[in-house]
Structure 1
Amino acid sequence: MANSPSGDSATDRIVRILETFTSDRTVQTVAQIGRRAALPSSTVYRQVDALVAAGLLERDDEQRVRLGMRLWELALRGSDALRLRQAALPSMERVQAEIRQHTQLAVLEHDEALFLERLSHPAAGANITRVAGRLPVHASSSGLVLLAYGPPELQERVLAAPLARVAPETITDAAALRRTLAEVRTRGYVVAPGSIEAVSTGVAVPVRGAAGDVIAALSVVLPRTVPTDAAIAALLRAAAEIRTRLAHAR
């Protein structure tokens, strides 16, 4: 791909345009995209036109721009995330029916917990997680599981960086985080009260693939006053079921 005078490639510019869309910002004008992507007006108009022609972006009647269905279609073709989600859903539904709270599936993506699925009960408590949303690995229960079983270089990178305080009880001390990760590996689960929201407790377990490596985290978000034993047991059973389902699907 040809580079611009600033040195970024056409691929870089396309990624910057697509990354301006978020779960809260689904529709934008081209001018807004240009400002958020820090691209010249002529460049962003040309790139948006090309992406619309390819079906990766769409325009509405007011000429505002949104992500296109073709982008979704291409992302799902042969996706490991889709296969994992399909294998996990039956077990997630059972957990959600039993615990009657939020049940979530997350994977590690660029040093964050990326959520592939979330099932919720109408009476469930507070939860900020969204499908395709991200949370810090040092703060969320799913992230703590993914970090605990992640490669050593990931752990050292996270431990060496400033640990942002998301909620009053988020772990922000590297030594405390290292101890927590060791406890996760010993116990096979994590209970994280008040780490993301003061009124909630995150409970998460590792999900292993057919070969035994940890590929995801399965979690529930409980009101702070709810005991966690039943959720831990339900999640561990579900994780074992998902591993078996993945092995049979090979």
Structure 2
Amino acid sequence: MSSEKYRLSSVTNAMRILNIFKINKNKELSVTDIASQTNVPKSTAHRLITTLRKEGFLSQNPRTGKYRLGLALLTLGGVISVHKEIYREAFPYVEQLVRKIDETCHICLLEEQHVVYYYRVHRKAPEHLVTQEGRKSPVHCTSEGLLLLAFQESSYQERVLSEPLYRFTRYTITDPEKIRSRLSTIAAEGVAISEGEYFEGYTSISVPIRDYSYNVVSSLTLVSQTNRLKQKQYSYYVKQLRLTAYEISEALGYYGNI
């Protein structure tokens, strides 16, 4: 096979891999599943999956090793129907929360070694925030990133902490040992707060959203000016976020405690 035909074949097979997730909505697939459904050799499927994952078009669940659609399509202006279907019932809860507390809130997901802002609802007079849908932000200095990281396997945490950790502000913590300790506290308390670590003058507060498997699959996150939040105290916002996160989790089939 010529190199040109080989490249075309690879592109075709990569598109076939992405398309099978239209049929298998809301499901994670193994390499064997994908190879079988696309009728390509397992070694070929594995190679293409690795490339698609590297580019963000597929995402691997660190707990199961299986794959789902990634969020890179959001950055291209596309809509990932599988995620929209999963979280469709959550959107009204977020909108109701924002009307109540008048602060901008997000649903965030972990994508490889970044956190992605999947859904956002603005407050009445929104600030200019770099949290638009589809944007990737660092894990180590945002409450949404730290919250999601705290509920991952230790091997995944170590992979993130082994990378260079950029200092965005004078408050950014870059010492891996301090972050490890912080992750333990977050996992125990079920809340993460990042004050001025990504942008000075702004604070983010995050709580977990769980699904039917009891795993933390996303975060419910508030981002606001620090001074304004302190007028009501963080505990008020944590309580409101937790109540809404529980409603969203119930919509995803979770019936435990947040």
TM-score range, shorter chain: 0.5 to 0.7
9 and 205 in structure 1: CA distance in 2 versus 1, 3 angstrom threshold: farther
For 2:253, the equivalent position in structure 1 comes to 247
Q: State the shift of 1:9 in Å.
A: 7.8
The equivalent of 1:103 in structure 2 is 105
* Structure 1 residue 229 corresponds to structure 2 residue 235: yes
Q: Separation in 2 of the partners of 1:186 and 1:216? A: 17
Structure 1 residue 83 displacement after superposition:
2.6
Q: Deviations over 1:217-236 (max 9, x none)?
A: 11001211122222111110
The Cα shift of 1:153 comes to 1.6
Change (3 A) 1:97 1:185: same
Q: Distance in 1 between matches of 2:9 and 2:155?
A: 29
For 2:119 and 2:131, the matched residues in 1 are separated by 10
CA-CA distance at 1:126 after TM superposition: 4.8
Secondary structure of the structure 1 residue equivalent to 2:253: helix
CA shift in 2, pair 1:2/1:146, >3 Å: farther
Determine the structure 1 residue equivalent to 2:57: none
SS in 2 for 1:158: helix
Q: Give 1:111 shift.
A: 1.3
Residues 81-140 of structure 1, C-alpha deviations (whole Å, 9 max, x = no match)? 213331321211122112211100111111111111011113244521110111111121
Give the unaligned 5+ runs of structure 2. Answer: 16-72
Q: Say whether 1:205 aligns with 2:216.
A: no
Q: In structure 2, how many angstroms separate the alpha carbons of the residues matched to 1:136 and 1:8?
A: 35
Alpha-carbon offset, residue 3 of structure 1: 5.0
Q: Does 1:86 align with 2:88?
A: yes
Q: Which amino acid aligns with 2:195?
A: P
User: Any conservation in 2 of the 1:101–1:125 contact (CA below 8 Å)?
Assistant: no
Contact 1:116 / 1:131 at 8 angstroms: preserved in 2?
Answer: yes
| One-letter amino acid matched to 2:212 | A
* Partners of 1:149 and 1:214 within 8 A in 2: yes
Given residue 239 of structure 1, which amino acid in structure 2 is its aligned partner?
A
Q: 1:87 to 1:8 in 2, by over 3 A?
A: same
Higher mean C-alpha displacement, 135-144 vs 161-170 = 161-170
Q: Distance in 2 between matches of 1:195 and 1:3?
A: 48
Alpha-carbon distance, 1:11 to partner: 3.3
What are the equivalent positions in structure 2 for 1:14-29 lying under 5 Å apart? none
Q: Which has the larger radius of gyration?
A: 1
Letter in 2 for 1:187: E
CA-CA distance at 1:4 after TM superposition: 5.8
Match of 1:146 among 133, 148, 151: 148
What residue is the counterpart of 2:11 in the other structure? 11
RMSD across aligned positions (CA): 2.8
**Equivalents in 2 of 1:239, 1:146: separation in Å?**
14
For residues 96 and 152 of structure 1, the distance between their equivalents in structure 2, rounded to whole angstroms, comes to 34
Which SS does the other structure have where 2:187 is aligned?
Answer: helix
State the TM-score, normalizing by the size of structure 2. Answer: 0.66
Say if 2:163 is the partner of 1:161: yes
- Structure 1 residues 210 and 168: alpha-carbon distance in aligned structure 2, compared to 1, 3 A threshold: same
Percent identical residues: 26
- Opposite residue 242 of structure 2, the aligned amino acid is L
Residue in 2 that maps onto 1:19:
none
- TM-superposition CA deviations, 1:15-39 (whole Å, max 9, x none): 9xxxxxxxxxxxxxxxxxxxxxxxx
Q: Please state whether the residue corresponding to 1:247 is helix, strand or coil.
A: coil
| Counterpart in the other structure of 1:114 | 116
Q: After TM superposition, give the deviation of residue 172 of structure 1 in Å.
A: 0.9
Partner of 2:20: none
Contact 2:210–2:252 (Cα < 8 Å) also in 1: no
Task: Number of aligned residue pairs: give it.
Answer: 189
- Distance verdict in 2 for CA 1:83–1:170, change over 3 Å: farther
